[in-house]
Amino acid sequence: MADVQSAILGGGCFWCLEAVYQRVKGVKQVTSGYAGGQIAGPSYEQVSSGTTGHAEVVKLDFDPKVITLGQILEIFWHIHDPTTPNRQGGDVGRQYRSIILYQDEEQKAAAEESLKAAEELWDQPVVTELKPLEAFYPAEDYHQDYFNQHPEAAYCQIVINPKLAKFQTQFESLLK
């Protein structure tokens, strides 16, 4: 087993997922980016236009000896609403869809198993896409580490802080 594995997840604005997973024990690095679309090397403006097919995602590099992919996926199902197609709260568009991009058959099986378990958490049908990862493109530098760099920004205060508070209450044992 490799020292570090990676997972690619999308659940709304990448700043939200990034802020949560940066606080998870065993997660070595979180990179905001784009995946799941048709063009190579998209820009934020292109992805925001909704024409590339890409989702805003995070790439999580993690130590599987400290945290499992199953635990990462359990967090995923609790920190966004996987029942709303192409939106999370006020963020609307295909780039904000719920998506898991797997890199091999083992990740695919873990994603399918976790999706079945997640369906028990929600009253509405889960619409999360499961797709093989074709490519991951890091977002522009100004999107990286956004919450930590701009904690007083309105979006961080109104949207990210409540997600962090909920996460920290539900997953206290997984906090760094």
* Residue 106, SS3 per DSSP: helix
Dmax (CA) for the chain in angstroms is 42
HSE-up (13 A, CA, CB side) for residue 59: 18
**Structure token pair of residue 155:** 């979006």
127 phi/psi in degrees, rounded to 5? -110, 15
**Structure token pair of residue 16:** 């939200």
Q: Is 13 a catalytic residue?
A: yes
Quote the crossing angle between the two packed helices 69-79 and 14-21, to the nearest 10°: 130
Q: Please tell me the distance from the alpha carbon of residue 41 to that of residue 69, in angstroms, as a whole number.
A: 27
Q: Please tell me the distance from the alpha carbon of residue 140 to that of residue 82, in angstroms, as a whole number.
A: 26
Query: Catalytic: which of 8, 13, 72, 160?
Result: 13
- List the catalytic residues: 13
